[in-house]
Amino acid sequence: MRWTICMLLVVSSFCGQTQFSVEFDPDTNRDAEVFDDVWFTHVLRNETDSLLEMKWRLFSDFSNTPEWDEYMIEFFWCGVFSSSFSFTLDTIDSMAWDQHIMLNEGAGTGSSKICFFEPKDSLNTVRCATMTVNAVYPDTYRVYVDTGFVYVINGDTH
């Protein structure tokens, strides 16, 4: 009986322990104009006293806006134009990741799901959030045609 109670206490304390936490950007749905850059900031925290081997993964759906680009950037890194990336999170430390979506061409809505996880975590703890951008053309913008740049003002070419 004592052995069972002891094992139950060990298992319950292990299961309740969180290795890391993520504070996702609170503004998950943004309106913007085509040709703008949209930034989302996510803060990742190591809740332990040891290094964590972490990974993030992006699942983007820009099928209605194929000219949009996306990358992640962290203070010490240049932009990562990949759908996944491995990194180390220091002991009892935090790290901010900026998710950057460039609305190069095409009005519409696109979404991107970002997930943070520890690949070696036996509990398979994954923290995810979906960021959505709704883009419309601005009243005035510049486009390049065969002979040079033209300005589009309220839908008319000038």
Higher pLDDT, 141 or 7: 141
- Identify the pLDDT of residue 113: 98
Instruction: Give 113-146 pLDDT, tens digit per residue.
Output: 999 999 998 888 999 999 999 999 877 666 677 8
pLDDT of 158 above 80: no
- Return the amino acid letter for 37: D
User: pLDDT at residue 51 above 80?
Assistant: yes
What region does 18 belong to: left with phi over 0, alpha with psi -120 to 50, or beta? beta
Between the two ends of the chain, the Cα-to-Cα distance in Å is 85
The Cα 46–Cα 49 span in angstroms is 8
Q: What are the φ/ψ torsions at residue 144 (nearest 5 degrees)?
A: -100, 130
Kindly state the DSSP code that residue 26 receives in the 8-state scheme: S
- Contacts of residue 99, defined as CB under 8 A and 6 or more positions apart, other chains included, come to 25, 39, 40, 41, 42, 58, 70, 72, 112, 114, 131
Question: Taking residues 34-47, what's their average pLDDT?
Answer: 95
Task: In whole angstroms, give the CA distance from residue 28 to residue 22.
Answer: 14
